Amino acid sequence: MKRSKTMEFGVGLFMVAGILGLVFLGLRVSGLTFSAPSQSFQLEANFANIGSLKPRARVTMAGVTVGRVEAIELDTEWFDARVVLSLDSELEGQLSKDSIASILTAGLLGEQYIGLSVGGDPEMLEDGDTIRDTQSALVLEELIQQFVSNMASN
């Protein structure tokens, strides 16, 4: 009987360890947070070129992560990229209308993310608004082309 008790304990421990492992994977590895969806608000931004930006990419402000890219789709009216951002609800009503969203790259070949910087407009962005002022991704080929054509014209 005693042996069977320690065995039952072992199996219990095994299953608890499995659940803890899953929690670890969720929190530490996939960066899951327990914030409810109501605690975020959405903004939209149109970019002429998003480069290799992916859904779930970071949205930062002064280097601090404040949200994620929710969805990316083609705007068939203007033929540019419509990016839906999901931001911390703390920032709702805090960002001025003329805020700038730009696509930045971490390192030379790193992942791409969105950087926000605020402007000076007294009017603030609300849930569902669109950021007008955007800066597209730097595309390496275009940079090189520019450089080459500058050289040629000089």
Residue 108 within binding range of other proteins, rule CB under 8 A: yes
Contact 47, 103 (CB under 8 A): yes
Residue 126 within binding range of other proteins, rule CB under 8 A: no
In a 3-state reduction of DSSP, which class is residue 19?
helix
Structure tokens at 4: 């069977």
Query: What is the per-residue burial (b if ≥16 Cβ within 10 Å, else e) of 92-111?
Result: beebebebebbbbbeeeeee
Stretch of residues binding other proteins (CB under 8 A), selected from 23-31, 36-44, 126-134, 136-144: 23-31
Q: Compute the least distance from the CB of residue 109 to other proteins, in Å.
A: 5
Residue whose CB is less far from other proteins, 116 or 125 = 116
Stretch of residues binding other proteins (CB under 8 A), selected from 51-59, 76-84, 96-104, 128-136: 51-59
Q: How far apart are CA 93 and CA 72, in angstroms?
A: 23
Residue whose CB is less far from other proteins, 29 or 62 = 29
Residue 17 within binding range of other proteins, rule CB under 8 A: yes
- Burial status of residue 15 (CB atoms within 10 A of its CB: 0-12, 13-18, 19 or more): exposed
Residue whose CB is less far from other proteins, 69 or 131 = 69
* Residues at the interface with other proteins (CB under 8 A): 4, 7-8, 10-11, 14-15, 17-18, 21-22, 24-26, 28-32, 56-58, 106-111
